[in-house]
Amino acid sequence: MSGLTASAAAAASLTGAGSSLVAPIEADWGTAFQTSTGVSVNYQAVGSGTGISDISKGLVDFGASDAPLTSAQAAGCAGCVQIPWALSATGVGFHINRLKKLHLTGPVLAQIYLGQITKWNDRRITSLNKGTRLPNLAITPVYRSDGSGDTYAFTNYLSAVSSTWSMKIGFATSVGFTHGVGGKGNSGVTAVLESTNGSIAYIAVSYLIAHGLPATAIKNAAGNYEYPNLSNIESAAQTVKRVPAGNAISIVNPPRRARTGYPISTFTYVIAPKHAPQVSILKQFILYALSPSGQAFGPSLDFAPLPRVVLNASKQSVNSL
């Protein structure tokens, strides 16, 4: 048990809070880690914003976020280290009765969420979906009402492809959406999407898979419409050639050389405090998540393996704790 006595392991536990995107694979990590070490891992999927707040206040042993810390957040979480530990994507699900296939571009997505496109048979959508009969049906955009890394990835992408979005809304874990309906957590957004014909929502891909919801193919910088599949997430991540100090990495809207890259792919981070009472056990847990055994839980949940350059940087960061 790598430094833990059996009695110490049985009494030990870790608490974490944050990203709902990472929750499905974190649950598998926690179960496997407890089986092998006796250490329980209790994780609350309360959204990246709350996860950052909770770890900054010392309420949990680790936080989790799909958005890298801002300079203000880093200052507020004194001594914290953000470590990429998983790779997935924010999908764009839709609910149009009897329709299973949809193509959209980033600028059109921005216009939908800005309330500038309000019907599914708008010519700006139909021109992207030739041969598909789209109904004269109101569009209901659905967004996260809580602080969310999915919101960060989605709005970061829209800011990159739409100057109007960038000027009016911008990107962060929470932004001032002007149109649509909010839902708390990926589970809340999924519930709204499932119950509302005509809706569209950005959701962690694993939730779309779990609920059998169709994903939109988004046009990437290379001009190809791509789904948030494993190979397309990996293609976006392959553009990372070096990891900057602080480990903040963005792979939204990857360049044209990522020909099959899905444009709203994202790394997700564990936020760990240095010199915490539980730091020895926490290091073991994070290293397990980064190990081949931990990463092997990913594919069935649409989490791709971390690129080698990112994996190496993450392990170095764990060892610095």
pLDDT digits (tens, 9 = 90+) for 203-230: 999 999 999 999 999 999 999 999 999 9
Total domains in the fold of the chain: 2
Range(s) of the domain holding residue 141:
90-237
185 within a domain of the structure (yes/no)? yes
Residue 11 is inside which H or E element, if any? helix 6-11
318 Ramachandran zone, left/alpha/beta (phi>0; psi -120 to 50): alpha
Relative to beta strand 62-65, strand 103-104 is: unpaired
Q: What is the pLDDT of residues 260-316, one digit of tens each?
A: 999 999 999 999 998 888 899 999 999 999 999 999 999 999 999 999 999 999 999
142: domain CATH number? 3.40.190.10
How far apart are the C-alpha atoms of 150 and 193, rounded to whole Å? 15
The per-residue DSSP string of 149-202 comes to HHHHHHHHHHHHH-HHHHHHT--SSS----SSEEESHHHHHHHHHHH-TTEEEE
251 within a domain of the structure (yes/no)? no
Task: Note whether 226 and 271 are same-domain residues.
Answer: no
Q: How confident is the model at residue 1 (pLDDT cuts 50, 70, 90)?
A: very low
Task: Note whether 47 and 109 are same-domain residues.
Answer: no
- The DSSP symbol for 67 reads S
Task: Note whether 80 and 96 are same-domain residues.
Answer: no
How far apart are the C-alpha atoms of 194 and 147, rounded to whole Å? 22
pLDDT of residue 169 exceeding 80: yes
- The DSSP symbol for 212 reads T
The answer to whether residues 264 and 171 touch, using CB atoms and an 8 Å cutoff, is no
Task: Note whether 273 and 220 are same-domain residues.
Answer: no
How far apart are the C-alpha atoms of 121 and 138, rounded to whole Å? 9
How far apart are the C-alpha atoms of 99 and 96, rounded to whole Å? 5
Q: At residue 89, what are phi and psi to the nearest 5 degrees?
A: -155, 155
Q: At residue 310, what are phi and psi to the nearest 5 degrees?
A: -75, -45
The answer to whether residues 158 and 113 touch, using CB atoms and an 8 Å cutoff, is yes
Task: Note whether 41 and 129 are same-domain residues.
Answer: no
The answer to whether residues 84 and 250 touch, using CB atoms and an 8 Å cutoff, is no
Task: Note whether 83 and 94 are same-domain residues.
Answer: no
Indicate the average pLDDT of the chain: 94
243 within a domain of the structure (yes/no)? no
How far apart are the C-alpha atoms of 304 and 301, rounded to whole Å? 9
Residue 320 CB neighbours (<10 A):
11
Nearest Cα to 62, choosing from 30, 94, 88? 30
How far apart are the C-alpha atoms of 173 and 182, rounded to whole Å? 14
pLDDT of residue 155 exceeding 70: yes
Q: Which residues pair with 301 in a beta bridge?
A: none
pLDDT of residue 9 exceeding 80: no
How far apart are the C-alpha atoms of 264 and 156, rounded to whole Å? 9
The answer to whether residues 85 and 305 touch, using CB atoms and an 8 Å cutoff, is no
State what percent of residues in the chain have pLDDT above 90: 92
Instruction: Provide the residue type at 149 as one letter.
Output: G
Which of these three, 237, 253, 287, is where a domain ends? 237
pLDDT score, position 4:
54
